[in-house]
């Protein structure tokens, strides 16, 4: 049970004559990848049990029969509106679904109340993720469509931008800045970290960057893992390209990126929003589990020494424990 979304056998997409592994290797070497534009079968629906489900492939054999009927322009517009409504309903459910009681929702429903707890922040971040995914899907779906901008704006619900893409005379850059001729003495100065939080909320990494101690540890771990794999001939640069090795390294790099996004800005904030910090850290926790799983898979292949794998795992667990302790700290002061 559920609602249908887009169903078409003529969605334009890139089709490669090479295997996914060959395409990936060419892209990693910076070499061009030949492709052609072809039709893909796309079936989208919003299941009451499983959420948004899509089938999008060029592998199916399709046959177009004679038209039994055609939509009028009005019917086509109505169907597009229904598809957008189905997406928005799904995004709303995703954003506001939460395992906690309804008391958390009551605070979040008042748009004038900006004192959000970690659950409200988490819902808002989930909604942002859903909108971002939808936007990227639309870009891919209508990549070569001559009216791409208008269609995407409509599908995203940006009705206030109707017609803006037709006003080329307003959008073409003339080469002159509206600030030309103004005094340049007031140029923005680079942000400086708060001196009294050094060592707690930030440190200077070996390359001179401002980082939170935990994001710096995660970055150093990801780099150490990459170097050890490279020394053992297990990276793409040495012609191996082992998928499980790449997954393990990707998970480590993702942890580093997530912690940097959640924590590095604390260097410049004297009174951070603890609930927001906790919500961001919660989103990073899932990647720790994926990282541990990937180290186990690599360990079974005996391509790295047990000592190296155990070192990776120990540091991942240690960083995770410190993340949990930091979340507890910000919950207490929020």
pLDDT tops 70 at residue 115: no
User: Which structural domain range is residue 15 located in?
Assistant: 1-64
Same domain, 205 and 298: yes
pLDDT digits (tens, 9 = 90+) for 31-41: 777 777 777 78
End of a domain among 135, 161, 187?
161
Q: What is the CATH number of the domain that holds 216?
A: 1.20.1440.60
| Structural domain contains residue 208 | yes
Same domain, 208 and 156: no
End of a domain among 64, 80, 112?
64
pLDDT tops 80 at residue 177: no
| Structural domain contains residue 182 | no
pLDDT score recorded for residue 319: 95
Same domain, 287 and 209: yes
Same domain, 140 and 213: no
Using pLDDT thresholds of 50, 70 and 90, give the confidence band for residue 167: very low
- Report the number of distinct structural domains present in the chain: 3
pLDDT digits (tens, 9 = 90+) for 136-151: 887 877 777 777 777 7
Same domain, 239 and 307: yes
For the chain, what percent of residues have pLDDT higher than 90? 25
> Residue 257 has which token pair?
């990126």
Using pLDDT thresholds of 50, 70 and 90, give the confidence band for residue 154: confident
Q: Which of 6-20, 134-148, 164-178, 247-261 has the highest mean pLDDT?
A: 247-261
pLDDT score recorded for residue 156: 73
| Structural domain contains residue 92 | no
pLDDT score recorded for residue 1: 59
| Structural domain contains residue 80 | no
The model's pTM: 0.55
| Structural domain contains residue 286 | yes
For the chain, what percent of residues have pLDDT higher than 70? 75
pLDDT digits (tens, 9 = 90+) for 203-252: 999 888 999 999 999 999 999 999 999 888 887 654 456 888 988 999 99
pLDDT score recorded for residue 110: 43
Poorest-pLDDT segment among 163-172, 276-285, 312-321? 163-172
Q: Which of 72-86, 89-103, 178-192, 258-272 has the highest mean pLDDT?
A: 258-272
- Average the pLDDT over 51-59 and give the result: 72
pLDDT digits (tens, 9 = 90+) for 305-333: 999 999 999 999 999 999 999 999 988 87
- Average the pLDDT over 127-132 and give the result: 77
- Average the pLDDT over 16-43 and give the result: 76
End of a domain among 14, 39, 64?
64
């Amino acid at each position: 049970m559920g609602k249908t979304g887009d169903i078409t056998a003529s969605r334009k997409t890139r089709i490669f004559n090479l295997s996914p592994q060959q395409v990936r290797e060419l892209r990693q070497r910076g070499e061009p990848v030949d492709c052609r534009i072809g039709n893909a079968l796309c079936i989208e629906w919003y299941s009451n049990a499983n959420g948004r489900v899509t089938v999008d492939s060029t592998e199916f054999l399709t046959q177009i029969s004679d038209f039994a009927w055609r939509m009028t322009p009005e019917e086509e517009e109505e169907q597009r509106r229904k598809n957008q409504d189905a997406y928005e309903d799904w995004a709303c459910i995703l954003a506001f679904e939460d395992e906690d009681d309804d008391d958390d929702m009551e605070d979040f429903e008042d748009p004038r109340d900006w004192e959000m707890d970690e659950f409200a922040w988490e819902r808002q971040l989930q909604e942002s993720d859903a909108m971002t995914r939808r936007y990227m899907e639309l870009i891919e779906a209508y990549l070569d469509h001559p009216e791409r901008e208008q269609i995407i704006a409509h599908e995203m619900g940006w009705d206030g931008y109707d017609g803006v893409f037709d006003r080329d005379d307003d959008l073409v850059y003339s080469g002159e800045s509206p600030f030309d001729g103004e005094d340049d003495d007031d140029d923005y100065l680079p942000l400086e970290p708060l001196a009294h939080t050094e060592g707690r909320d930030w440190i200077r990494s070996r390359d001179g960057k401002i980082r939170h101690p935990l994001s710096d540890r995660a970055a150093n771990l990801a780099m150490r893992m990459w170097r050890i794999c490279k020394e053992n001939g297990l990276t793409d640069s040495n012609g191996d390209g082992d998928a499980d090795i790449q997954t393990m390294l990707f998970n480590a790099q993702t942890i580093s990126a997530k912690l940097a996004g959640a924590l590095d800005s604390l260097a410049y904030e004297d009174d951070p929003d603890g609930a927001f910090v906790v919500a961001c850290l919660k989103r990073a926790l899932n990647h720790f589990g994926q990282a541990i799983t990937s180290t186990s898979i690599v360990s079974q292949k005996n391509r790295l020494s047990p000592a190296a794998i155990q070192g990776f795992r120990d540091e991942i667990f240690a960083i995770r424990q410190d993340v949990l302790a930091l979340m507890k700290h910000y919950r207490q002061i929020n």
